Chains A and B, each alone.
Chain A
Amino acid sequence: MLQVKDLNVYYGGIHALKGISFNINEGEIVTLVGSNGAGKSTTLRAISGLIKNKTGSIVFKDEEILGMPSEKIVGLGISQVPEGRRIFTGLDVEENLLMGAYLRNDKKEIQEDLEYAFKIFPRLKERRRQAGGTLSGGEQQMLAIARALMARPKVLMLDEPSMGLAPIVVEEIFECITELNQKGLTVLLVEQNANIALQVAHIGHVVETGSIAFSGNAGDLLDDDRVRKAYLGED
């Protein structure tokens, strides 16, 4: 569904991604794990078109999207839940959700999706008239996910959804990701918390200093000695 081939990204003089390649098939959860600064977020940002200085190829459903502006990529069906949530703090919860549906014009269905989002995250419904900035971290993460879903994406990319959240909230969020995937959503997940990411994912890629060090089935990676030592903190 999504093929990334030999993706290179430069930040000024820094070669941040050195030829990353991977595929995502429809219905999969694919995760990129790795330490801080390895280039995981950069990969997502490049796919979303937020980074200009890049070479290689990103093909989504047989269409090259590498040079496309972000809004077109969203329109094709790739939505991102950015690192740090980035919700619109001055807009209320409902307005935030409606922004997710910015490119859609089917008013009735948007309304249905809004109700659906409130069904998945009932806590958002309680706070629908509250400004986004007044929500707790976990609620903001839910809002960011729900907002991305409002675009009816075919691929949902999540950047560090566990960041800064209490373990119980992290579990809740990942349960929700699994559920969405079971309903047919394709997911690309970037996480520093390799343990939980590999538990929910089908395929894992370990990213180190701008390239993929090794890949495999998520379950196998969880048992892999290299992963256990470097990312799960075991001896």
Chain B
Amino acid sequence: MFLDQLSNGLALGSIYALTAIGFTMVYGIIRLINFVHGDIYMMGAFFALTALTVLGMPIVVAFIIGMIGSVVVGLMIAKFAYKPVFEAPRINLFLCAIGAAIFLENYAMLVWGPQTQSFPDIITNQTYNFLGLKFTTLQLIILATATSLMVILTYIIKFTKMGRAMRCTSQDVEAAKLMGINTHHVIYFTFAIGSSLGAAAGILVGMYYKAVYPMMGFTSGLKAFVAAVIGGIGSIPGAMLGGIIMGIAETLGAAYISSGYRDAIAFIILIIILLVKPSGILGNSAKEKV
């Protein structure tokens, strides 16, 4: 039972991790809690579902369409909702994020309807055994997809020029400009990557729970935010770790305590982390030499 729940938690956790990365990246670069992220995740799921059922595309293509669609939505929000208030106090940006979130939720209800839509069964599940851990095919697909996306992301951030520019911009926007970095491009690029990962997570969740609905981004967005804070907001490895911790804690909690407490567990962990290490597990608490 414990091992069953563990593989369940790993799959769920890797999805949280993907979502949390988007949160943490945008926060790292413009210090905005991007509350629209959960809805980008929902849009991704709907785009993929539409491509799958209405347009009859294969799942891999639908997956990519979902990611691309969300990138477009994410960039549009950055351009039309955030860009005009970039220079304004952060609270204005934050309000725009909430406004954009409400807009997307209602837009999705208008287009796809408020009811829950079922995600078709595409994968025939088999159970595999790894050292006592039991995984279904779907769980393996989720883990593999999430892991490879995170590897690609880490590569981009660590070794490409754009990645270095992102790290610089998140540390010091002005100094980045003095290096000749077009920080606006970096910000858009960050939104694009964050949105694509969020969409991937949304689609994986849709496949996992076989359900897609306009408000699906709300709780997940909140939980991903919690995961990002647990790991240390602004830190990408932190978001990955936070996501996995959340996923495992949630499934184990649901199994051993009560499934009614499922959503509460995330916030209990948050409170504990904030009490013990407010900067998060991998967050660096402002240690700068002057």
Report A's interface with B, CB cutoff 8 A. 48-50, 69-71, 74-75, 79-80, 82, 84, 86-91, 95, 98-100, 102-103, 133-135, 137, 140, 147-148, 151, 164
Contact of A164 with B290 in the complex, beta carbons under 8 Å: yes
On chain B, the residues within 8 Å of A147 by CB distance are 179
Contact of A50 with B288 in the complex, beta carbons under 8 Å: no
C-alpha gap A74/B178 in the complex (Å):
7
A-B CB contacts (within 8 Å), total count = 74
C-alpha gap A223/B165 in the complex (Å):
46
C-alpha gap A135/B290 in the complex (Å):
10
Q: Could you list 5 A-B pairs, sorted by A, with CB under 8 Å? A: A69-B182, A75-B180, A86-B172, A88-B172, A91-B167
Can you list the 10 inter-chain pairs with the closest CB atoms, starting with the nearest? A74-B180, A70-B177, A86-B175, A103-B180, A71-B180, A102-B179, A99-B179, A71-B182, A102-B180, A88-B171
Q: Other than the known A49-B177, A99-B176, what 10 A-B pairs have Cβ atoms closer than 8 Å?
A: A50-B178, A74-B179, A82-B174, A84-B290, A86-B175, A88-B168, A88-B172, A99-B164, A99-B181, A164-B290
C-alpha gap A25/B4 in the complex (Å):
74
Given A71-B182, A74-B180, A75-B180, residue A98 in contact with residue B164 (CB < 8 A): yes
Chain A proximity of B236: nearest CB distance (Å): 12
C-alpha gap A151/B178 in the complex (Å):
10
Given A70-B177, A99-B179, residue A91 in contact with residue B164 (CB < 8 A): yes
Contacting residue for A86 out of B161, B164, B165, B174, CB 8 A: B174
Mask: chain B, 177-194; 1 = CB below 8 Å from A; 0 = not:
111111000000000000
Contact of A90 with B171 in the complex, beta carbons under 8 Å: yes
Given A50-B174, A70-B178, A80-B178, residue A90 in contact with residue B167 (CB < 8 A): yes
C-alpha gap A134/B288 in the complex (Å):
9
Contact of B179 with A100 in the complex, beta carbons under 8 Å: yes
